[in-house]
Amino acid sequence: MGAAGSEPEPPPGPLKGGGFAAEVSWVRSWKRVLAGIGVTVSGLERSLATRRRLQQQRGPGEKLPRLGEKLVTGWPVPQFVSLFLPEFPVRPPLGQPQLKILGFVAKGSFGTVLKVLDCGREKVFAVKVVPKVEVLRRDTLKQCKEEVSIQRQVSHPFVHCLGDSWQGQRHLFIMCTYCSTGDLHTLWDSSGRFAEATIRLFAAELVLVLGYLHDLGIVHRDVKMENILLDERGHLKLTDFGLSRHLRRGERAYTICGTLQYMAPEVLSGGPYSHSADWWSLGILLFTLATGKFPVPPERDHLAMLASVNRCSYESPGSLSQGLSLLLSELLCQNPLRRLRYLHHFKSHLFFRGVTFDAELLQKHPVDVVVAARQAEAAAQESSVAFADFDCDLLASLSRPRPG
Protein backbone atom coordinates (compact mmCIF):
# COMPACT_ATOMS: atom_id res chain seq x y z
CA MET A 1 0.00 0.00 0.00
CA GLY A 2 1.27 3.44 -0.85
CA ALA A 3 2.38 6.35 1.27
CA ALA A 4 -0.11 8.61 3.01
CA GLY A 5 0.11 12.35 3.29
CA SER A 6 0.50 12.68 7.07
CA GLU A 7 0.92 10.60 10.20
CA PRO A 8 -2.44 10.34 12.02
CA GLU A 9 -2.88 10.64 15.76
CA PRO A 10 -2.76 7.10 17.23
CA PRO A 11 -5.85 5.76 19.00
CA PRO A 12 -5.82 5.11 22.74
CA GLY A 13 -4.29 1.90 23.98
CA PRO A 14 -5.66 -0.33 26.73
CA LEU A 15 -6.73 1.54 29.86
CA LYS A 16 -3.98 1.51 32.48
CA GLY A 17 -4.69 2.90 35.93
CA GLY A 18 -5.17 6.56 36.76
CA GLY A 19 -8.60 6.30 38.36
CA PHE A 20 -11.85 7.82 37.14
CA ALA A 21 -10.16 10.80 35.47
CA ALA A 22 -8.08 8.42 33.35
CA GLU A 23 -11.26 6.61 32.28
CA VAL A 24 -12.82 9.90 31.15
CA SER A 25 -9.71 10.70 29.12
CA TRP A 26 -9.71 7.18 27.60
CA VAL A 27 -13.32 7.46 26.42
CA ARG A 28 -12.77 10.93 24.98
CA SER A 29 -9.74 9.66 23.07
CA TRP A 30 -11.86 6.94 21.47
CA LYS A 31 -14.47 9.56 20.58
CA ARG A 32 -11.85 11.50 18.59
CA VAL A 33 -10.82 8.37 16.68
CA LEU A 34 -14.38 7.38 15.77
CA ALA A 35 -15.48 10.93 15.01
CA GLY A 36 -13.34 10.69 11.89
CA ILE A 37 -15.84 8.20 10.44
CA GLY A 38 -18.95 9.96 11.70
CA VAL A 39 -19.53 7.76 14.75
CA THR A 40 -20.62 8.90 18.21
CA VAL A 41 -20.04 6.94 21.41
CA SER A 42 -22.39 8.67 23.81
CA GLY A 43 -23.17 5.26 25.33
CA LEU A 44 -19.70 5.14 26.83
CA GLU A 45 -20.18 8.55 28.39
CA ARG A 46 -23.50 7.40 29.86
CA SER A 47 -21.69 4.43 31.40
CA LEU A 48 -19.24 6.87 32.99
CA ALA A 49 -22.13 8.74 34.62
CA THR A 50 -23.51 5.46 35.97
CA ARG A 51 -20.08 4.55 37.36
CA ARG A 52 -19.82 7.93 39.05
CA ARG A 53 -23.08 7.30 40.92
CA LEU A 54 -22.01 3.75 41.90
CA GLN A 55 -18.66 4.98 43.17
CA GLN A 56 -20.37 7.59 45.33
CA GLN A 57 -22.56 4.86 46.87
CA ARG A 58 -19.52 2.74 47.79
CA GLY A 59 -17.12 3.34 50.57
CA PRO A 60 -13.77 5.05 49.95
CA GLY A 61 -11.94 1.71 50.23
CA GLU A 62 -14.07 -0.07 47.64
CA LYS A 63 -13.07 0.05 43.98
CA LEU A 64 -15.09 -0.60 40.87
CA PRO A 65 -13.60 -2.64 38.04
CA ARG A 66 -12.00 -0.35 35.49
CA LEU A 67 -14.20 0.57 32.54
CA GLY A 68 -11.69 -0.72 30.04
CA GLU A 69 -11.16 -4.13 31.66
CA LYS A 70 -14.18 -5.89 30.22
CA LEU A 71 -13.67 -4.36 26.81
CA VAL A 72 -9.95 -4.99 26.58
CA THR A 73 -9.78 -8.49 28.06
CA GLY A 74 -11.97 -10.19 25.46
CA TRP A 75 -11.18 -7.86 22.57
CA PRO A 76 -7.82 -6.05 22.41
CA VAL A 77 -9.68 -3.38 20.44
CA PRO A 78 -12.95 -2.41 22.23
CA GLN A 79 -15.80 -4.56 20.99
CA PHE A 80 -18.03 -1.60 20.15
CA VAL A 81 -15.63 -0.72 17.30
CA SER A 82 -16.77 -3.87 15.48
CA LEU A 83 -20.29 -2.45 15.25
CA PHE A 84 -19.07 0.21 12.84
CA LEU A 85 -17.64 -2.32 10.38
CA PRO A 86 -20.73 -3.95 8.83
CA GLU A 87 -18.61 -4.69 5.76
CA PHE A 88 -16.79 -7.23 7.96
CA PRO A 89 -19.38 -9.51 9.62
CA VAL A 90 -18.36 -10.92 13.00
CA ARG A 91 -18.05 -14.68 12.68
CA PRO A 92 -17.38 -17.20 15.42
CA PRO A 93 -14.68 -19.72 14.53
CA LEU A 94 -17.09 -22.64 14.14
CA GLY A 95 -19.19 -20.70 11.66
CA GLN A 96 -16.36 -20.17 9.19
CA PRO A 97 -15.79 -22.53 6.25
CA GLN A 98 -13.09 -25.13 6.71
CA LEU A 99 -9.95 -23.43 5.48
CA LYS A 100 -6.39 -24.69 5.27
CA ILE A 101 -3.39 -22.36 5.14
CA LEU A 102 -1.09 -23.44 2.31
CA GLY A 103 1.57 -20.76 2.57
CA PHE A 104 2.64 -17.15 2.74
CA VAL A 105 2.11 -14.74 -0.18
CA ALA A 106 3.22 -11.30 0.95
CA LYS A 107 3.80 -9.04 3.94
CA GLY A 108 2.85 -5.38 3.78
CA SER A 109 2.69 -2.42 6.14
CA PHE A 110 -1.01 -3.08 6.83
CA GLY A 111 -1.06 -6.85 7.11
CA THR A 112 -0.16 -10.25 5.74
CA VAL A 113 -1.53 -12.14 2.74
CA LEU A 114 -1.89 -15.92 3.02
CA LYS A 115 -2.56 -18.62 0.44
CA VAL A 116 -5.58 -20.56 1.71
CA LEU A 117 -7.52 -23.60 0.49
CA ASP A 118 -11.30 -23.63 0.91
CA CYS A 119 -11.77 -27.36 1.46
CA GLY A 120 -15.52 -27.21 0.88
CA ARG A 121 -15.24 -25.59 -2.54
CA GLU A 122 -11.83 -27.10 -3.30
CA LYS A 123 -10.61 -23.70 -4.43
CA VAL A 124 -7.54 -21.67 -3.48
CA PHE A 125 -7.88 -18.07 -2.28
CA ALA A 126 -5.65 -15.27 -1.05
CA VAL A 127 -6.62 -13.94 2.39
CA LYS A 128 -5.42 -10.52 3.52
CA VAL A 129 -5.13 -10.46 7.33
CA VAL A 130 -5.23 -6.93 8.80
CA PRO A 131 -4.65 -6.38 12.55
CA LYS A 132 -7.37 -4.18 14.05
CA VAL A 133 -4.87 -2.38 16.25
CA GLU A 134 -3.01 -1.28 13.10
CA VAL A 135 -6.25 -0.08 11.51
CA LEU A 136 -6.94 2.13 14.51
CA ARG A 137 -3.33 3.18 15.09
CA ARG A 138 -3.09 4.42 11.51
CA ASP A 139 -6.61 5.89 11.56
CA THR A 140 -7.64 3.83 8.50
CA LEU A 141 -11.03 2.54 9.64
CA LYS A 142 -12.86 4.50 6.95
CA GLN A 143 -10.27 3.38 4.40
CA CYS A 144 -10.89 -0.31 5.18
CA LYS A 145 -14.63 0.18 4.87
CA GLU A 146 -14.20 1.92 1.51
CA GLU A 147 -11.86 -0.78 0.20
CA VAL A 148 -14.36 -3.58 0.76
CA SER A 149 -17.33 -1.47 -0.31
CA ILE A 150 -15.66 -0.71 -3.65
CA GLN A 151 -14.59 -4.30 -4.24
CA ARG A 152 -18.16 -5.49 -3.63
CA GLN A 153 -19.37 -2.97 -6.20
CA VAL A 154 -17.01 -3.84 -9.07
CA SER A 155 -17.11 -6.85 -11.36
CA HIS A 156 -14.72 -6.87 -14.31
CA PRO A 157 -12.49 -9.46 -16.03
CA PHE A 158 -9.40 -7.40 -15.19
CA VAL A 159 -10.24 -6.73 -11.52
CA HIS A 160 -9.09 -8.98 -8.68
CA CYS A 161 -12.54 -9.88 -7.38
CA LEU A 162 -13.54 -9.98 -3.71
CA GLY A 163 -14.56 -13.43 -2.48
CA ASP A 164 -15.50 -12.65 1.12
CA SER A 165 -14.72 -10.47 4.13
CA TRP A 166 -15.18 -10.96 7.87
CA GLN A 167 -13.68 -10.06 11.24
CA GLY A 168 -12.47 -11.96 14.25
CA GLN A 169 -11.38 -10.73 17.66
CA ARG A 170 -8.10 -9.19 16.55
CA HIS A 171 -8.09 -9.10 12.74
CA LEU A 172 -10.03 -8.16 9.64
CA PHE A 173 -10.00 -10.71 6.80
CA ILE A 174 -10.36 -9.96 3.08
CA MET A 175 -10.51 -13.03 0.83
CA CYS A 176 -9.94 -12.80 -2.93
CA THR A 177 -9.23 -15.22 -5.75
CA TYR A 178 -5.64 -16.47 -5.80
CA CYS A 179 -3.41 -15.57 -8.76
CA SER A 180 -0.69 -18.20 -8.93
CA THR A 181 1.59 -16.34 -11.35
CA GLY A 182 2.39 -13.45 -9.00
CA ASP A 183 2.47 -9.76 -9.83
CA LEU A 184 3.70 -7.67 -12.74
CA HIS A 185 6.58 -6.16 -10.76
CA THR A 186 8.08 -9.59 -10.07
CA LEU A 187 7.86 -10.44 -13.77
CA TRP A 188 9.38 -7.08 -14.78
CA ASP A 189 12.15 -7.45 -12.20
CA SER A 190 13.20 -10.78 -13.74
CA SER A 191 12.55 -9.93 -17.39
CA GLY A 192 13.55 -6.27 -17.70
CA ARG A 193 12.16 -4.58 -20.80
CA PHE A 194 9.08 -6.01 -22.51
CA ALA A 195 8.35 -6.30 -26.21
CA GLU A 196 5.95 -3.67 -27.53
CA ALA A 197 3.39 -6.34 -28.44
CA THR A 198 3.21 -7.37 -24.76
CA ILE A 199 3.07 -3.74 -23.62
CA ARG A 200 0.24 -3.10 -26.09
CA LEU A 201 -1.81 -5.98 -24.65
CA PHE A 202 -1.17 -4.98 -21.02
CA ALA A 203 -1.95 -1.33 -21.81
CA ALA A 204 -5.24 -2.22 -23.52
CA GLU A 205 -6.34 -4.33 -20.55
CA LEU A 206 -5.48 -1.53 -18.10
CA VAL A 207 -7.23 1.09 -20.24
CA LEU A 208 -10.39 -1.01 -20.13
CA VAL A 209 -10.35 -1.56 -16.37
CA LEU A 210 -9.46 2.05 -15.47
CA GLY A 211 -12.16 3.34 -17.79
CA TYR A 212 -14.63 0.96 -16.13
CA LEU A 213 -13.71 2.17 -12.64
CA HIS A 214 -13.88 5.83 -13.63
CA ASP A 215 -17.33 5.32 -15.19
CA LEU A 216 -18.42 4.01 -11.77
CA GLY A 217 -17.00 7.12 -10.12
CA ILE A 218 -14.02 5.31 -8.58
CA VAL A 219 -10.43 6.57 -8.63
CA HIS A 220 -7.86 3.87 -7.77
CA ARG A 221 -4.96 6.15 -6.66
CA ASP A 222 -2.35 3.39 -6.45
CA VAL A 223 -1.91 1.99 -9.97
CA LYS A 224 1.51 0.31 -9.99
CA MET A 225 3.14 -2.95 -11.02
CA GLU A 226 2.91 -4.45 -7.53
CA ASN A 227 -0.88 -3.98 -7.60
CA ILE A 228 -1.34 -5.83 -10.88
CA LEU A 229 -1.60 -9.60 -10.52
CA LEU A 230 -1.29 -12.11 -13.36
CA ASP A 231 -3.60 -15.06 -13.89
CA GLU A 232 -2.46 -18.46 -15.15
CA ARG A 233 -2.69 -17.28 -18.80
CA GLY A 234 -0.79 -14.06 -18.10
CA HIS A 235 -3.66 -11.58 -18.17
CA LEU A 236 -3.97 -8.75 -15.67
CA LYS A 237 -5.97 -8.40 -12.47
CA LEU A 238 -5.93 -4.95 -10.84
CA THR A 239 -5.90 -5.30 -7.06
CA ASP A 240 -5.45 -3.42 -3.75
CA PHE A 241 -8.25 -0.89 -3.50
CA GLY A 242 -7.01 0.30 -0.10
CA LEU A 243 -6.45 3.88 -1.32
CA SER A 244 -9.38 3.97 -3.74
CA ARG A 245 -12.35 6.22 -3.18
CA HIS A 246 -15.61 7.21 -4.78
CA LEU A 247 -15.14 10.44 -6.73
CA ARG A 248 -18.01 11.71 -8.85
CA ARG A 249 -17.35 13.36 -12.20
CA GLY A 250 -16.43 16.98 -11.52
CA GLU A 251 -15.51 16.28 -7.89
CA ARG A 252 -11.91 16.74 -6.72
CA ALA A 253 -9.67 15.04 -4.14
CA TYR A 254 -6.83 16.53 -2.07
CA THR A 255 -5.26 13.68 -0.09
CA ILE A 256 -1.61 13.01 -0.93
CA CYS A 257 -1.55 9.23 -1.22
CA GLY A 258 -0.23 6.48 -3.43
CA THR A 259 3.30 5.38 -4.29
CA LEU A 260 5.74 8.25 -4.84
CA GLN A 261 7.22 7.18 -8.19
CA TYR A 262 3.74 6.73 -9.67
CA MET A 263 2.06 9.85 -8.23
CA ALA A 264 0.85 12.51 -10.65
CA PRO A 265 2.22 16.03 -10.06
CA GLU A 266 -1.22 17.29 -9.00
CA VAL A 267 -1.35 14.56 -6.31
CA LEU A 268 2.18 15.31 -5.08
CA SER A 269 1.26 18.99 -4.72
CA GLY A 270 -1.81 18.23 -2.59
CA GLY A 271 -4.50 18.62 -5.24
CA PRO A 272 -7.00 19.31 -6.45
CA TYR A 273 -6.94 16.20 -8.60
CA SER A 274 -9.38 13.79 -10.24
CA HIS A 275 -9.46 10.48 -12.13
CA SER A 276 -6.76 11.82 -14.48
CA ALA A 277 -4.20 10.96 -11.80
CA ASP A 278 -4.68 7.26 -12.60
CA TRP A 279 -3.75 7.86 -16.25
CA TRP A 280 -0.46 9.47 -15.20
CA SER A 281 0.29 6.38 -13.10
CA LEU A 282 -0.45 4.22 -16.15
CA GLY A 283 2.04 6.29 -18.14
CA ILE A 284 4.76 5.72 -15.53
CA LEU A 285 4.00 1.99 -15.54
CA LEU A 286 4.17 1.68 -19.34
CA PHE A 287 7.36 3.78 -19.52
CA THR A 288 8.97 1.41 -17.01
CA LEU A 289 7.87 -1.71 -18.89
CA ALA A 290 9.25 -0.30 -22.14
CA THR A 291 12.59 1.01 -20.88
CA GLY A 292 13.39 -1.21 -17.89
CA LYS A 293 13.68 1.78 -15.54
CA PHE A 294 11.58 4.50 -13.94
CA PRO A 295 11.67 7.93 -15.58
CA VAL A 296 12.39 9.56 -12.19
CA PRO A 297 14.37 7.93 -9.34
CA PRO A 298 12.64 7.65 -5.95
CA GLU A 299 12.90 10.56 -3.52
CA ARG A 300 12.62 10.76 0.27
CA ASP A 301 9.22 12.52 0.35
CA HIS A 302 6.47 13.96 -1.84
CA LEU A 303 7.98 17.46 -1.98
CA ALA A 304 11.34 16.22 -3.26
CA MET A 305 9.50 13.90 -5.65
CA LEU A 306 7.41 16.79 -6.97
CA ALA A 307 10.55 18.81 -7.68
CA SER A 308 12.06 15.88 -9.60
CA VAL A 309 8.85 15.30 -11.56
CA ASN A 310 8.67 18.96 -12.55
CA ARG A 311 12.29 18.88 -13.78
CA CYS A 312 11.90 15.67 -15.80
CA SER A 313 11.23 15.96 -19.55
CA TYR A 314 9.96 12.37 -19.86
CA GLU A 315 11.62 11.94 -23.24
CA SER A 316 11.20 8.45 -24.66
CA PRO A 317 14.27 6.55 -25.91
CA GLY A 318 14.77 6.49 -29.66
CA SER A 319 14.39 2.71 -29.64
CA LEU A 320 10.64 3.00 -28.99
CA SER A 321 8.15 3.12 -31.82
CA GLN A 322 6.48 6.37 -32.78
CA GLY A 323 3.14 5.11 -31.48
CA LEU A 324 4.44 4.14 -28.04
CA SER A 325 6.46 7.36 -27.69
CA LEU A 326 3.35 9.38 -28.53
CA LEU A 327 1.24 7.42 -26.04
CA LEU A 328 3.74 8.00 -23.22
CA SER A 329 3.97 11.72 -23.95
CA GLU A 330 0.16 12.04 -23.87
CA LEU A 331 -0.18 10.11 -20.61
CA LEU A 332 2.75 11.85 -18.89
CA CYS A 333 1.36 15.32 -19.55
CA GLN A 334 1.81 17.73 -16.63
CA ASN A 335 -1.57 19.33 -17.32
CA PRO A 336 -4.25 16.79 -16.25
CA LEU A 337 -6.85 18.43 -18.51
CA ARG A 338 -4.71 17.68 -21.58
CA ARG A 339 -3.80 14.16 -20.47
CA LEU A 340 -5.06 11.23 -22.55
CA ARG A 341 -7.96 9.76 -20.58
CA TYR A 342 -11.00 8.80 -22.69
CA LEU A 343 -11.58 5.34 -24.17
CA HIS A 344 -12.44 6.59 -27.67
CA HIS A 345 -9.08 8.42 -27.79
CA PHE A 346 -7.24 5.21 -26.92
CA LYS A 347 -9.21 3.25 -29.52
CA SER A 348 -8.14 5.63 -32.29
CA HIS A 349 -4.54 5.98 -31.06
CA LEU A 350 -1.64 5.06 -33.35
CA PHE A 351 -0.15 2.67 -30.78
CA PHE A 352 -3.38 0.65 -30.55
CA ARG A 353 -3.94 0.28 -34.28
CA GLY A 354 -5.50 -3.13 -34.88
CA VAL A 355 -6.38 -3.69 -31.19
CA THR A 356 -9.96 -4.61 -30.33
CA PHE A 357 -10.86 -3.18 -26.92
CA ASP A 358 -12.93 -6.18 -25.92
CA ALA A 359 -12.03 -8.00 -22.69
CA GLU A 360 -13.07 -11.42 -23.98
CA LEU A 361 -11.02 -11.10 -27.18
CA LEU A 362 -7.99 -9.72 -25.35
CA GLN A 363 -7.98 -12.82 -23.12
CA LYS A 364 -8.31 -15.23 -26.03
CA HIS A 365 -4.60 -16.07 -26.20
CA PRO A 366 -2.09 -16.58 -23.37
CA VAL A 367 0.71 -14.06 -22.85
CA ASP A 368 3.88 -15.85 -23.96
CA VAL A 369 6.35 -14.06 -21.68
CA VAL A 370 4.22 -14.81 -18.61
CA VAL A 371 3.65 -18.45 -19.50
CA ALA A 372 7.40 -18.93 -20.09
CA ALA A 373 8.27 -17.32 -16.75
CA ARG A 374 5.71 -19.45 -14.96
CA GLN A 375 7.11 -22.66 -16.42
CA ALA A 376 10.64 -21.64 -15.40
CA GLU A 377 9.55 -21.15 -11.78
CA ALA A 378 7.25 -24.17 -11.54
CA ALA A 379 9.66 -25.96 -9.21
CA ALA A 380 10.12 -23.01 -6.85
CA GLN A 381 9.33 -23.72 -3.21
CA GLU A 382 6.81 -21.61 -1.36
CA SER A 383 7.84 -19.83 1.80
CA SER A 384 6.56 -21.06 5.13
CA VAL A 385 4.73 -18.72 7.47
CA ALA A 386 4.99 -18.16 11.22
CA PHE A 387 1.59 -18.35 12.87
CA ALA A 388 2.41 -17.13 16.37
CA ASP A 389 1.30 -13.58 15.49
CA PHE A 390 -2.21 -14.56 14.38
CA ASP A 391 -5.15 -14.61 16.73
CA CYS A 392 -6.86 -17.66 18.16
CA ASP A 393 -10.00 -17.27 16.07
CA LEU A 394 -7.92 -17.57 12.91
CA LEU A 395 -6.08 -20.64 14.13
CA ALA A 396 -9.28 -22.24 15.39
CA SER A 397 -10.93 -21.95 12.00
CA LEU A 398 -7.95 -22.86 9.84
CA SER A 399 -6.34 -26.28 9.94
CA ARG A 400 -2.64 -26.51 10.59
CA PRO A 401 -0.41 -25.86 7.57
CA ARG A 402 1.72 -28.47 5.98
CA PRO A 403 5.46 -28.05 6.59
CA GLY A 404 6.98 -25.52 4.20
**Residues with active-site annotation:** 222
Q: Are the beta carbons of 213 and 248 closer than 8 angstroms?
A: no
Q: What is the DSSP letter of 127?
A: E
Q: Are the beta carbons of 44 and 30 closer than 8 angstroms?
A: yes
CA atoms of 197 and 22, how far apart (whole Å): 65
- Please, which residues have CB within 8 angstroms of residue 258's CB and are 6 or more apart in sequence? 2, 3, 221, 222, 243, 267, 277, 281
**Residue 249, Cβ density class (10 Å: 0-12 exposed, 13-18 middle, ≥19 buried):** exposed
